[in-house]
Structure 1
């Protein structure tokens, strides 16, 4: 439906030196992955199992904190002609996942985006101001963490692993699974388990920790591909896309349609899976594993036209992207029509039909 080029669903318009047209920009939605974190878990035979991570397991590292500050500066630089100089609550709405790393990422990004100026300076020795970040518990969140209970979705997700395409992947990687099981000391028999292991190894490498000798006999790049495929399984069918990314996109469309009653800027502190769910609902077909600080931006121009940008990690330049069926800019009405199949009308009802 949306596929235009072999790399992705999107049509690449530009990648460097993007200059938004401030005179026509009327609303921004920015969803970003948190900064670099410590591992959320380890494996039984991990030689670094007793490493003390600053802040604790799953928390932002110092580099991750700096990355979020830099992302805030980049967004300020990119949209300085549109994002207000001063923070006012009726102009900015910030929503986060329940996870500490996301809440902290939002706070740090905001510190760079809205340092207090003039009469908003309340402490000349601390150029920072408190800005509210909203979230709901994990079990209630169907927007960002996307973990709220959905009976029909859970049944469909469980069935995904019986799909021939997934069974084929498991069969093709049977020897890798056996090798990883032998050396990690725990069962490795699915793309999901490989993803969790890869995430841990990736972060250990980022922190110059020497990986065990057995890792020299496996391809970390292949493990990364399997990890990306694991993220895809959460939106394997159109119904699953609707129940995940569709919820977020429906909210964006609604906020754009009610512009006069809505803030100018929406920020969402999220996870890699959040971005994958949204991008695949938009039609992304190539495997994707967003890096730390990856972000998707939806711009509303002239109250009626949408353009989109995607940054794959904190170091990447934003690329302008577009739905094949709509081009860029895409009329808001056309954007809504193109995604009609994936926008839930009543999420709770559809979860329990």
Structure 2
């Protein structure tokens, strides 16, 4: 009887766990999204001239387990802990086909480094996601076919060591970030979260056998249960209840938000990649983008990264409503030119596997179409200046 009940709960959870509404008043909705191949809210004479796409990798295995996890042994996880799954490969492949349709006029029919640049964090799952996405964007045809037995052609994926990754920081040493983050973890706001949800946290600790002293611990517990449920594994009653109740997911999402809870953290965690994109937009508007080794070229830049990367950027731009980005979700920065010489920015968020995204994001104090100069001015406080290189800013530990 219990196994039947578990199966029923698992089916319900699989269809609804990502649609749960949070009980906290600050998290009422997920950012609305766009992405028709032909945008209804863009005038016919306006021309899309450049785009950046930041996307989360596809579905993966669990990264960490907990002491009482019945599936903690690696034999349950094809490819190992944290590995991209076959479902994840299909998710990213569909995203690649979507990018091919959406940006066909920017990237052309045949691969050229003049049209696209793909960068990834140095994780296997993001590198593999980028490769699968590239295969969907540029299936070989005509003279590009080099082997009749495989409908694929190589497209370069650029990366760098994690300890040097400054645009999408993940493992790079940064004393200033650690000081600010640890300071926040000692704040009354952070501690009040644990006081408010202490009964639930103690309940999860008792059943999981895992100490949950920090929000990061809670986030990993949620992630493990979510992935195991998604894979169809039968979970214990307490785990099903934890997934059904939105509290665990709320705390996991709150942890992701905490990386950019202050203006200075927004600059450290997202300001450099946002500035990088805006600089390229400005150079494009001034016809300064030329194929050379000092400036990445191409009309479409794609970044393969993580849920935290997307949260950091959304929160830095004051566009984040508490949630966890889905696998293969994508955030689009698009530069349009009017029939004159004016340029504006639009942002779109595709958080589901959908062909049509309803509308562009509403940029605070700027609307859905934000003049490029105004966009830069609005976010001046989180954009590093020319003298604020990442290394020197990080060295200031207090």
Do these two structures clear the TM 0.5 threshold for a shared fold by scoring above it? yes
Answer yes or no: is 1:308 the counterpart of 2:343: no
Which of 235, 239, 246 matches 2:264? 239
Other-structure match for 1:333 = 373
CA distance in 2, matches of 1:91, 1:80: 10
TM-score, length basis structure 2: 0.82
Other-structure match for 2:326 = 291
Answer yes or no: is 1:214 the counterpart of 2:253: no
* Aligned residue-pair number: 347
8 Å CA contact retained: 2:107, 2:116: no
Which of 104, 114, 132 matches 1:108? 132
CA distance in 2, matches of 1:122, 1:316: 31
- Residues 284 and 15 of structure 1: is their aligned pair in 2 closer, same or farther, counting only changes over 3 Å? closer
Query: Per-residue displacement from partner, 1:196-234 (whole Å, max 9, x unpaired)?
Result: 011010011111101112224434422111110010111
Answer yes or no: is 1:344 the counterpart of 2:384: yes
Q: Alignment partner of 1:82: what SS?
A: helix
Which of 344, 364, 369 matches 1:324? 364
Other-structure match for 2:38 = 19
Bigger radius of gyration among the two: 2
- Residues 177 and 339 of structure 1: is their aligned pair in 2 closer, same or farther, counting only changes over 3 Å? same
Offset at residue 188 of structure 1 (A): 1.3
Offset at residue 7 of structure 1 (A): 5.2
Other-structure match for 1:124 = 148
CA distance in 1, matches of 2:37, 2:183: 42
Other-structure match for 1:198 = 222
- Residues 95 and 167 of structure 1: is their aligned pair in 2 closer, same or farther, counting only changes over 3 Å? same
Q: Alignment partner of 2:117: what SS?
A: strand
8 Å CA contact retained: 1:31, 1:269: yes
Query: Per-residue displacement from partner, 1:119-162 (whole Å, max 9, x unpaired)?
Result: 21111221211111111111111212443222111100011112
- Residues 86 and 170 of structure 1: is their aligned pair in 2 closer, same or farther, counting only changes over 3 Å? same
- Residues 180 and 282 of structure 1: is their aligned pair in 2 closer, same or farther, counting only changes over 3 Å? same
TM-score, length basis structure 1: 0.92
Answer yes or no: is 1:96 the counterpart of 2:120: yes
Alpha-carbon RMSD across the aligned residues, in angstroms, is: 2.1
Offset at residue 333 of structure 1 (A): 0.8
Other-structure match for 1:43 = 66
